[in-house]
Chain A
Amino acid sequence: MSFINYSTREINCKIVYYGPGLCGKTANLQYIYDKTDPNLKGKMISLATETDRTLFFDFMPLKLGEIKGFKVRFHLYTVPGQVFYDASRKLILKGADGVVFVADSQMDRMDANLDSFDNLRDNLKEHGYDLDTIPLVLQYNKRDLPDIVPVKELEEALNFRGVKSFEAIAIKGVGVFETLKQIAKEIIIKLKG
């Protein structure tokens, strides 16, 4: 649910990075955080375990430019990818304006991608959202690793909506900003109606 404050002339939108465990959701946020002008970002909060696995969520606020005198801000969240933390994932999806699904390109993670995608559909449904209509962008991450699934196969398996998708190497920043820009665009286009 986008939040528009007329008194402070601000528009805030929520983007959630979703995907299986260790697919690179936090890596996306970390790269955006590292490469963004300090004046344009707030603090990055990571609620993680001692082994740096996301426990509840990562969060970072990002200030963009203005639309018709309204300052546009995006709040970026990641969910914990591990199957065990489904209750937390559900909570974080609430109020999401758009979703980036980060898929792990490695062959042996294909089942995990599909499970996570199904889980995204179920959890969106619980909040009254529909995976077929919510602003969505796909990111095929870890394209630099050996034994990866060809993009064509990933598209066939996950991109039934024909939304924009990006190949990425999130830890090196490849595809990270492209993905972010695209989901921001999709959200604003949806708001435009």
Chain B
Amino acid sequence: MDNLFWLSDEKILEKFEVELNRLKVESNAKATFLIDKNGQLIGSSKNTENYDKTSIGALVAGNVAATGGLANLLGEKEFSILFHEGENEHVHISLVAGKLILVVIFDETTSLGLIRLRVKKSLKVFEKLLRDLEKSSQENNRENIFSDITEDDIDNLFNIGGE
């Protein structure tokens, strides 16, 4: 089961979201997200219902992967911060311990300087939470939800239309 990434400790996940909200408020950003390097959403700040988080996750992860590949070509370990400047909206992307990706979306009501300052502070919190999460994942006995599924269970997954 080493090929699984488990998020099993809800208390730690809540702490991630508390910090995402704190970062959003303190930096006056519009939204903050935490995703893994494959683009899966770990958590988001409040009031992000209007964002297509799945697509954001996939595109940001692709973006980080592409710049990571570029970094390797240039002999760098990684580019730990990416910044995309739009006309109205901007995106600040940073790596958390090389494992997770912190995304901050903001506009002209704040500044890149403030975002960078607050992100730097939050990264330390996220790094600690990530260590806690990894520790908790190792200690907890995980329920194997796949152990007794049948062929029928799998077939039933596909009662979704299509052919």
Contact = CB atoms under 8 A, between A and B. Distances in A.
B1 A193 contact: yes
Nearest to B5: A3
Interface residues of B, number: 41
Given A35-B163, A191-B4, A56 B66 contact: yes
Contacts, number: 130
A95 B37 contact: yes
Given A37-B160, A64-B157, A65-B159, A188 B149 contact: yes
B149 A67 contact: yes
B52 interface: yes
Contact of B161 (A37, A43, A189): A37
Contact of B66 (A68, A91, A189): A91
B5 A4 contact: yes
Given A1-B4, A91-B65, A188-B146, A59 B58 contact: yes
Given A45-B59, A57-B62, A97-B3, A91 B158 contact: no
A2 B160 contact: no
Interface residues of A, number: 53
A1 B4 CA distance: 5
B65 A94 contact: yes
Q: Which of B6, B39, B54 has its CB near the most chain A CB atoms (within 10 A)?
A: B54
Q: Which of B59, B146, B159 has its CB near the most chain A CB atoms (within 10 A)?
A: B146
B3 A3 contact: no
A70 B145 contact: yes
B4 A94 contact: no
A7 B154 contact: no
Nearest to B17: A7
B76 interface: no
Nearest to A189: B154
B10 interface: yes
Nearest to A129: B3
B146 A65 contact: no
A68 B52 CA distance: 27
Given A75-B54, A188-B157, 14 more contacts: A1-B38, A4-B5, A4-B8, A5-B40, A11-B145, A35-B163, A42-B55, A59-B62, A61-B58, A67-B149, A67-B153, A178-B163, A181-B158, A193-B144
30 contacts: A2-B3, A3-B7, A3-B40, A4-B7, A6-B6, A6-B7, A6-B8, A32-B162, A35-B163, A40-B160, A45-B58, A61-B54, A61-B55, A64-B157, A64-B158, A72-B157, A88-B66, A91-B66, A91-B69, A92-B65, A95-B38, A97-B3, A176-B163, A177-B158, A181-B158, A188-B157, A191-B4, A193-B1, A193-B144, A193-B146
